[in-house]
Amino acid sequence: MLSLIPEILSLLLDTSYSWVRMLLALAASIVISLAVGIGAARLKTFGKIVVPIIDVLQTLPILAFFPFAIYVVVFILPGIIGINAAVISLIITSMLWNMIFGVYEAIKTLPVELVEMTKLYGVGTFERLKRLYIPASLPRLSEQLSLSWAIGLFYLVTSEIFSTGNANYSVQGIGVDLAQLGTSGNFLYYGIALVIFIGFVVITRLTLFSAFDKMANRYSLVGYDTNKHKSRFNISYRIDHSIMFHKLKQEYTGIKTSISSSVSKHKEFLRKFGYLIAGIVIASVAFLIYSNANPNALSQLGSYEWIAITSLAASFLRVWGAFLLVLAVAIPVSVYVVFMTKRKNSYLLGFQILASIPATVLLPIMVFELRNNGEAVAFMVYFLSGIWYVIFSIIASTKYVKLNIDEVKKIFRVKGLIAWRKIYLLAILPGLITGAVTAIAAEWNASIIAEYFISNSTGAVLTSVGTGIGKLLDTALYSGNLYLMLITLINMTAMIIIFNIVVWRRLYDKVTSVYT
Amino acid sequence: MEVISVANIKFTFEDKASAKIIDDISFSTGEYEFVSIIGPSGCGKSTLLRIIAGLIAPTAGKILYYGNAVTEPIKDISFVFQDSALLPWLTNIENVKIGLSSTDLKDNVKNKKALEILKRFELNGFEYAYPNILSGGMKQRVGVARALVSDPKVILMDEPFSSLDELTARSLRNEVLNTLKDKSLSLMSVIMVSHNVEEVVELSDKVVILSNKPSLVKEIKKIDLPYPRNRHDKDFQKTVDEVFAKLSP
């Protein structure tokens, strides 16, 4: 037992290093999200440009940013500082997007009287930021922190140890330890590392996030008469206050705006056009960077199209197969927590802690337990990547209607199948759709880990599916085939955007037209 | 005969020992009697109504319905919520049918009853629409229709007219009052929470006036003015003044 102490101390030190990176990334994300979120909400032109771009960026698999980030950051800051800065910036890119949308929504739904009051009393820009916009953003930002932290941890393992083409980088941290211990089959130390990791997760949740929650809730505008016609039963109010709300929330704002506008169709067209432009701009910039003015770049890209499409189709089946299992588990669990138990807060805390244990740190166990079955590993990673989004989204979206629903259900003694059919399933529908969009996006983001994983120490392929977009992207990254990586990304992003517009938006339109 | 008896009800929030909300409240309602509960904001009127409904358990005391203890919601006691509490995902007819959930009626009978009551409340044409296209007054009509569709003996109303315009509120008040006073129908008693003194005097046979926290019964005032009551009548104004005087600290 005593012989384990040096190793435990070393793991504790490494975890502390990782946590310093995570906390620095979180602090930077808070500052950036406040600046961009408030800017996008208050400055019309800035918002019109930034919101669609962020919307597209957050659908891209985060690992795709690695070569760009490393190249830029290490070029500016050489040596170990540069590598650490690269790792931190990678974590930031995983944490940032939902926080920006949280701030953006908080400012967009700010009671107009408060803004008018600051104008009437001649409050200056800096004071307005300090006294109004930043405090008003904090509750929404606090709601997003747990999610961002969980996403950051998901990518911690892969961001601390990575290869791009010919170059390998790694830093001292628990992410490296977990990956190396797990893939080398050292399960005693892997288990200890996992316990330490989970211990840090729990302590962070119970101390840092609880304190931030408490502080942020002082600025809560719930109860303030933000809209005289909104009741707790109003779905619009519910959606405005839901936790998991990245892109769909922003889309919903678009929907609300377009409903109230006489030129709604025109605006809708502009929004879609904005997405298209943002997608083309990002793809073009990436293409220009990688083509290095190579005249054959376009034909080279085209030659990979067929393999990208077939890989995408295979991954599509996996992602949606796992999502069906997510629904089968998440719906009864959420309904139980929301409608059937009085210990909702305890469950919620438990879920937040569980959700903070990323699938990536469990990957070595999965690989070991499901050896030679890459499909099963991929399915599990997809499942774990998506399930919490659905559960948290449902719980958050029913937060403000629960009391009324409970009383109606009890007074009219609605029970059994009728309660499921007429109350539970329909009450969770908006949250379910919001959660589904984010869960599917998260599954796509995880494809690069789910479908292909190699041991960094031995270089051996530990898990691999037959064919899939994640595997394709991975092999492109490891082999440094940037054309293949780019065409893979373009296909995946196009599919996600088209699916959002054609399926999710229509479904959401239909639901909001009834629930609003 | 007493329909509802509120006997020595006390209520304290479990997690806050010092937060005594209701302290020893007793009153009763007779047959075909309209009883209003009035008191300062935050004095626990809505909590008391939920205790009567069986939604909340009192810390002490009991609620009796024709002599039987009410410990959970029962079929004969229905409820009208302040904000109508319609389920936004159900059509208006489906919302009304929620009021028949615990009955053994076949679906076509439930449909028939729901259509009849919606027609009675002048909501024909909106049966298969969703609540989001209705005005506040229409939503509250659906809420009242849902409360009455199961032919309850008692309805409890939590500030049911507070968010409606005066014309809509007046018409809905008359509808409820006529339903109660029509002895061919099942309704035996109405208990309403309100903060509108004129409304209370217009509708009630009896007014339970509560003090501030912890709530005590300041006075139970009987109102013998004949129905329909005229708000400009001298006796009506006098009664309003008396209730106001009792409400003042």
B236: in domain: yes
The tens digit of pLDDT for each residue in B65-106 reads: 999 999 999 989 999 998 888 888 889 999 999 889 888 889
B169: in domain: no
Domain that holds residue B234: 1-76+153-161+187-249
Looking at per-residue pLDDT, the higher value among B73 and A301 belongs to B73
Whether the predicted pLDDT of B219 surpasses 60: yes
B96: in domain: no
The residue of chain B with its CA nearest to that of A426 is: B89
CA–CA distance, A89 with A69 (Å, rounded to integer):
7
Please state, for a pLDDT cut of 70, what percent of chain B lies above it.
Answer: 98
B108: in domain: no
Contact between A159 and A87 under an 8 Å Cβ cutoff? The reply is: yes
Which member of B87, B90, B101 has the closest CB to residue A413?
B101
Which member of A234, A422, A514 has the closest CB to residue B98?
A422
**Are A413 and B132 in contact (CB < 8 Å)?**
no
B174: in domain: no
Contact list, A405 vs chain B (CB under 8 Å): 87
Q: Which of A173-182, A396-405, A417-426 has the highest average model confidence (pLDDT)? A: A417-426
Task: Decide: helix, strand or coil at residue A99.
Answer: helix
Phi, psi of B220 (to 5 degrees): -110, 110
Residue with tokens 């691999």, as numbered in its chain: A464
Where residue B13 sits, what CATH number does that domain have? Answer: 3.40.50.300
What would the two tokens of residue B25 be? 């409240």
| Probe site for chain B from A236, A411, A421 (most B CB atoms < 10 A) | A411
B27: in domain: yes
B239: in domain: yes
How confident is the model at residue B61, as a pLDDT? 94
CA–CA distance, A17 with A269 (Å, rounded to integer):
47
B83: in domain: no
Contact list, A408 vs chain B (CB under 8 Å): 81, 85, 87, 98
Q: Considering its fold, how many domains does chain B have in total?
A: 1
The residue of chain B with its CA nearest to that of A413 is: B102
- Number of cross-chain residue pairs from A and B with Cβ atoms under 8 Å apart: 70
Phi, psi of A306 (to 5 degrees): -65, -45
Please give the average per-residue pLDDT across A420-424, as a whole number.
90
Chain B closest-CA separation from residue A514 CA (Å): 6
Task: Decide: helix, strand or coil at residue A480.
Answer: coil
| Probe site for chain A from B80, B87, B139 (most A CB atoms < 10 A) | B87
What would the two tokens of residue A404 be? 């009324």
The tens digit of pLDDT for each residue in B184-196 reads: 888 999 999 999 9
| The model's pTM | 0.75
pLDDT band at residue A267 using 50, 70 and 90 as cut-offs: very low
Task: Write down all domains in chain A, each with its CATH number in brackets.
Answer: 2-222+231-515 (1.10.3720.10)
Chain B closest-CA separation from residue A348 CA (Å): 20
What ipTM, to 2 d.p.?
0.79
Instruction: List residues in chain A touching B: CB distance below 8 A.
Output: 231-235, 404-405, 407-408, 410-415, 418, 422-423, 426-427, 429, 513-516
How confident is the model at residue A256, as a pLDDT? 34
